Structure 1
Amino acid sequence: MSVTADNMTQHSGQTAAEAGRRRTFAVISHPDAGKSTLTEALALHAAAISSAGAVHGKGDRRGVTSDWMEMEQARGISITSAALRIDYGDCVLNLLDTPGHADFSEDTYRVLSAVDCAIMLLDSAKGLEPQTLKLFDVCRARRMPVITFVNKWDRPGREPLELLDEIEQRIGLRPTPMNWPVGIAGDFRGLIDRASGVYTKMHRTPGGATRAVEEELTAEQAAEVEEETWVQASEEIELLEEIGAGYDEESFLAGESSPVLFGAALPNFGVSALLDTLVSLAPPPGDLLDAKGEPRPVGALFSGQVFKMQANMDKAHRDRMAFVRVASGRFERGMVLTHAETGRPFATKYTQAVFGSERSTIDTAYPGDVIALINAQALSVGDTLYEGQKVVFPPIPSFAPEHFVVARALDSGRYKQFQRGIAQLDSEGVVQVLTSDVRGEQAPVLAAVGPLQFDVVKHRMEEEFRAPVELSHLDYCLARRTDAESAPTLHGLSGAEVMKRRSDGELLMLVHNKWRLRVIERDHPDLTMEPLLAGGVEEPA
């Protein structure tokens, strides 16, 4: 074997070992389930930050680390996704924080294409909610392992067995509790680890800004301290044993069962158990399939895919940042990669790790890591970067929009800035930009999954591009993919209009409502009207 081959083998082995240390995951939830609070609690327990801040930054507590955009801080919601890299023990955790607001699901879907596992966060009082169900469908379509964390157990809520039953009955995911709460929701005493039987009693710290104090007790000590609540919890655990609700690795990795943990993110109860479970059970990065359906080994030369674009995170520099999930190989800052879509070289001199609004230069990265490439004007969502032999990963799909507006510049003298801003937001995937012969380039149609994205458009167009816009609502709520042969007929029908998506040139038919669509489909069965996909999940008819 040659020296070069020896070096390649050593390189591949080191890369595979580093990949084995990675856990890349996202947190999915309904709005107000406590996702941003959990994000900070995870970082706090991993010693990545010294104190956690509530969503609204009450008192002397700072705002949520992962919520960096002004709109997010003002409204107390997550709008954009953020990548948080956390060292925990011997592992590197890559937490891709996703928008929790229902209107920002498309960005969430994109993030789910870049992770290997998801934490499904449930409110103990509300259980499974519409947004959670929608996001879980994407995870299930991709057979993604899901860990469930029942949050807010320090507040009044439902019975734990009732919540487990809802998970199994509504989404067909078999729950396998890893720990069990002592004390009903609202009277949270501590947690019993089912595997070891150890009871950890929780003690709140002032304001929940630092790690909760955890006190381990024997069963005898716990019975004496907790009295009736210990007896009830013990009886419920016996019931779990009788029905066989034990952890099964094969079904978990296949996306058929879900380890369940209980806790409360705000006072930091049960967060360390969640971290330990994530490290021990979540899968490390594996070989990804390329566009030809062939696996790309993690030990191969570098390759990665852009899953998110974000401009102007740093107001002082007005930059454009591409978030890339490393798929294979070792990344080294300064290496020159090839942009698969254009065949052109792409220099990586300026590469950073991003922790919310904070940045640090990153020199090396391995499969599962997320790197942020600065001044990435040539890149778009879904693009592939590689070293050596060409590889292309499947495109990240655009999703079925449900809301549409016409955008016009309020100041005609700033039309160039208007054009540049609309193109920027389109390339980032904030909205889909559609054009039509009827309205022309001066009045593009913006399409979004949720209407709050249009508030983001207005805010960014005014603040970043100094080109205020007027948005006029269009009375459409459905989109279907069509083709050049069908477009002329469909465009002339009442209640429908055909437009072209600027990013890929695809033709879309917009329709007023599902009833009008059914009439068109009945009268023109020979024309092309295909549903768009949402993260691998077909849009409901």
Structure 2
Amino acid sequence: MDGPRLRSEIARRRTFAIISHPDAGKTTLTEKLLLYSGVLQSAGMVKNRKGKLATSDWMGMEQARGISITSSAMQFAYKDCIINVLDTPGHEDFSEDTFRTLIAADSAIMVLDAGKGVEAQTRKLFDVCRLRGIPILTFINKLDLPGRDPLDLMTELEEALGIQSCAMNWPVGSGRKFRGVVDRRAGELQLFEKTAAGGSKRSEIERIPLDSPKFDERLGAEDAEQVRNELELLEIAGNEFTMERFLAGEVTPTFFGSALTNFGLGPFFDAFVELAPCPSGRTVTRKDGTKEKLPATEPFSAFVFKIQANMDRRHRDCVSFMRICSGSYTPDMQVHHERLGKKVRLARPQSIVAQERHTIEEAFAGDVVGLVGKDLYHIGDTLSLEGGFVHEALPLFQPELFARIAPKNTSDRKRFDKGMKNLITEGAVQQVWADVGPRDPMIGAVGKLQFESLQYRLEDEYGVETRLTPLPYECSAWLADNEETFRAPVNSLLAKDKRGRRVVLFKSQLDKRIAAQQNPEHKLLDYA
């Protein structure tokens, strides 16, 4: 492809993840972005069995429980940009899936509940974004409900996360008295009117310049004076926003609104496509061990960050989600598969929105596309036109729960083994093999809900009822060096992961600390 068009297409891309604590409104925000882009006619918010079902939640367990437990990747056009949104699980038990997804993002939207502020899962995900140097935009949600003072929320954000916050708009009222927001950059008040459908369509916006007499008329003299005082305080004591500081992760542009009723969403989405960075290249490691940043305009390269089995029940397929890091895809392109050491043909990559699929004819750096095919791709695989390097490795995180799992009926063993192989490959749980003990797989997870999801999918997708036996281990670590001289505590268990690396399972954090003290010459790693 010619250089000018390649650069133009890459500049249009915005690839981002949405992170939040459960119930902060992350999936609702995603649905509304699809609505504003024209992909949906009405937003399907996450609800229980009696409510509407979210478009981005495709798994039966998600729809039954009203939660998001898998990452989903969706692409669509908004204004003049091509949006690749990575909707991550909000539930902390699926944080490892979220961590992998964040590796594929160029920026993130952090959603906070105006009534609760910064919550535990938000802190964890923010730390991952900071570790990766991902710039973050903040959306403080649920202004239509009783909430905390906006200045208090911004102060907590700064103190809890260690990043400066700059209010790009400012709320007028809250709860039942929420009227709209002031766009500080445009210098105008944006008043909103609810639609008859309760916000399922775009809200009507009345734009009023701050220096217009109508500003006082519409708000009333007392409320107008309070808003002016708050805006003056922000000008004097607020943090400065610059693109340089934003991209460096020093400041987060902060917006207020309500995803449920569409208050503030249009201006927020417009600001996002203006501020969020386009793909700029990724660090790769050459065969000789040297690292370099590969510009986004270089020939095609990509990595696999997520695998999802059985999205199409009719064909029992397996979709590998690929983030293109440089160059462009053309039909039937042959690329070098670094792990396998051979050429593979990228036949019929797909753009996916929930269960809707479309075969694509071209894709560019920043795009996330699905590759259909079993056993060919693993999480972390690098694909490139030229070969000879790998993209940044996707880490495995320390499991905190362990169990053995087996089919209830021995006649289901073949289907059980097939299901376990597929679900382990996509990273639903981690699998380790103990040096001694039963042959049933020993699995590890960050949270209990991962085990429930695994059992649900084995029964729902493979027709196998299973028996789960918890094991008395609550933490683990990878052994970085010579295992022969490692003195393992009596209560620990030695095992190996799927890559053959030594893993030590501990019954308590105290046992883990004692093992580290008794083996000062060894490194115990929480991720690998």
Give the TM-score of the pair, scaled to structure 1. 0.93
Partner of 1:277: 271
C-alpha contact 2:338 2:387 (8 A) present in aligned 1: no
Which residue does the alignment assign to 2:3?
12
What is the DSSP-based 3-state SS (H/G/I as helix, E as strand, rest coil) of the residue aligned with 2:160?
helix
Query: Counterpart amino acid of 2:236?
Result: E
For 1:63 and 1:223, locate their aligned partners in 2 and report how far apart those are by CA, in whole Å.
Answer: 42
Q: What is residue 169 of structure 1 aligned with on the other side?
A: 159
Cα distance in structure 2, aligned partners of 1:522 and 1:386: 44
CA distance in 2, matches of 1:362, 1:347: 15
For 1:329, the equivalent position in structure 2 comes to 327
Output the amino acid matched with 2:217. E
1:478 maps onto 2:475 in alignment? yes
Amino acid at match of 2:477: R
C-alpha distance 42-108 of structure 1, shift in aligned 2 (>3 A)? same
Q: What code does the residue aligned with 2:106 have?
A: D
User: Structure 2 residue aligned with 1:301, among 299, 302, 305?
Assistant: 299
- Following superposition, the deviation at residue 261 of structure 1 comes to 0.3
Aligned partner of 1:89 in structure 2 is 79
Q: Hey, what's the Cα distance between the residues in 1 that align with 2:217 and 2:239? A: 27
Query: Structure 2 matches for 1:348-359, cutoff 5 A?
Result: 348-359=346-357
Provide the alpha-carbon RMSD of the alignment: 1.7
Q: Is the 8 A contact 1:303 1:391 kept in 2?
A: no
CA distance in 1, matches of 2:64, 2:105: 29
- Give the Cα separation in 2 of the matches to 1:499 and 1:156: 51
Does the aligned pair in 2 maintain the 1:157–1:186 contact within 8 Å? Answer: no
* Residue type at the aligned position of 1:500: K
Residue number in structure 2 paired with 1:378 = 376
User: 237, 247, 253: which one pairs with 2:241?
Assistant: 247
Q: Which residue is 2:27 aligned to?
A: 36
8 A Cα contact 1:490 1:498, kept in partner? no
- TM-superposed CA distance for 1:489, in Å, is 5.1
Instruction: State how far apart, in whole Å, the 1-side matches of 2:481 and 2:191 are.
Output: 66
Q: Work out the CA distance in 1 between the residues paired with 2:102 and 2:480.
A: 29
DSSP 3-state at the match of 1:509: strand
Q: Is the 8 Å Cα contact of residues 48 and 64 (structure 2) preserved in structure 1?
A: no
Contact 1:57 1:64 in 2 (8 A): no
SS at match of 1:207: coil
Shift of 1:22: 0.5
Answer whether contact 1:15 1:329 (CA < 8 A) is retained: yes
**Preserved CA contact (<8 Å) 1:13 1:299:** no
Distance 1:275 1:487 in 2: 56
How far is 1:529 from its partner? Answer: 4.1
Q: How far apart are residue 490 of structure 1 and its match?
A: 4.2
Instruction: List aligned pairs for 1:482-521, cutoff 5 A.
Output: 482=479, 485-486=482-483, 490-491=487-488, 493-502=489-498, 504-521=499-516
Alpha-carbon shift at residue 521 of structure 1 (Å): 2.5
Tell me the residue number matched to 2:54: 64
- Give me the whole-angstrom Cα distance separating, in 1, the residues matched to 2:388 and 2:180: 53
On the 8 A contact 2:304/2:321 being kept in 1, the answer is: yes
Q: Aligned in 2, Cα 1:57/1:419: closer, same or farther, shift over 3 Å?
A: closer
Once superposed, which parts of structure 1, at least 4 consecutive aligned residues long, lie more than 4 Å away? 487-491
2:518 is aligned to: 523
Superimposed CA distance per residue, residues 441-487 of structure 1 (whole angstroms, 9 cap, x where no aligned partner)? x3111111111000111011112222322111111111111157436
Note if contact 1:499-1:508 (Cα within 8 Å) is conserved in structure 2: yes
Partners of 1:159 and 1:185 within 8 A in 2: no
Corresponding residue for residue 219 of structure 2? 226
Take 1:354 and 1:487, find their aligned partners in 2: how far apart are those partners? 48
Aligned mates of 2:256, 2:331 — CA distance in 1: 40
Whole-angstrom distance in 2 between the partners of 1:24 and 1:420: 34
User: Does structure 2 conserve the Cα–Cα contact (< 8 Å) formed by 1:183 and 1:233?
Assistant: no
- Which of 216, 221, 244 aligns to 2:207? It is 216
Cα gap change, 1:452/1:55 in structure 2, threshold over 3 Å: closer, same or farther?
A: same
Show the 5 A alignment for 1:118-157.
118-157=108-147
Q: Deviations over 1:339-380 (max 9, x none)?
A: 111122222222110011211111110010001001142101
| Secondary structure of the corresponding residue to residue 318 of structure 1 | coil
* TM-aligned CA deviation for residue 508 of structure 1: 0.7
Q: 2:459 aligns with which of 456, 462, 468?
A: 462
> Partner residue of 1:449?
446
User: Could you tell me which of 85, 89, 97 is aligned with 1:99?
Assistant: 89
Cα deviation, residue 128, structure 1: 0.1
Task: Work out the CA distance in 1 between the residues paired with 2:11 and 2:374.
Answer: 29
> Within 2, Cα distance between the matches of 1:475 and 1:186?
50
2:358 alignment partner in structure 1: 360
Structure 2 distance, partners of 1:280, 1:84, is: 20
Per the TM alignment, residue 246 of structure 1 is displaced from its structure 2 partner at its CA by 3.1
SS of the aligned residue for 1:464 comes to: helix
1:226 CA displacement = 1.1
Q: 1:258: which partner in 2?
A: 252
- Tell me, yes or no, if structure 1 residue 235 matches structure 2 residue 229: yes
2:425 partner SS = helix
Matched with 2:46 is 55
Deviations 1:485-532 (CA, angstroms, capped at 9, x unpaired): 4367545x3221111112x11111011111122222333334x24122
Q: Distance in 1 between matches of 2:269 and 2:31?
A: 12
Stretches of structure 2 lacking an aligned partner (at least 5 in a row): none
Map of 2:102 onto structure 1: 112
Q: Distance in 2 between matches of 1:524 and 1:484?
A: 11
- Please tell me whether the aligned partners of residues 49 and 66 of structure 2 are also in contact (alpha carbons under 8 angstroms): no
Q: State the alpha-carbon separation in 2 of the partners of residues 484 and 88 from structure 1.
A: 50
Further displaced range: 25-34 or 346-355: 346-355
Distance verdict in 2 for CA 1:271–1:424, change over 3 Å: same
Please name the residue that 1:267 is paired with. Answer: 261
Shift of 1:274: 1.5
Tell me the CA shift for residue 101 of structure 1.
0.9
Q: Gapped runs of 5+ residues in structure 1?
A: 1-9, 535-541
User: Is residue 48–residue 65 contact of structure 2 (8 Å, CA) maintained in 1?
Assistant: no
| 1:436 match | 434
Letter in 1 for 2:131: A
Identity %: 41
Instruction: Tell me if structure 2 keeps the 8 A contact 1:12–1:300.
Output: no
Structure 2 residue aligned with 1:288, among 279, 282, 285? 282
Moved more, 445-454 or 476-485: 476-485
The residue identity in structure 2 corresponding to 1:445 is: M
**Alignment-mate amino acid for residue 353 of structure 2:** F
Farther-moved stretch of structure 1 (308-317 vs 228-237): 228-237
Instruction: Return the alpha-carbon distance in structure 2 between the equivalents of residues 22 and 223 of structure 1.
Output: 41
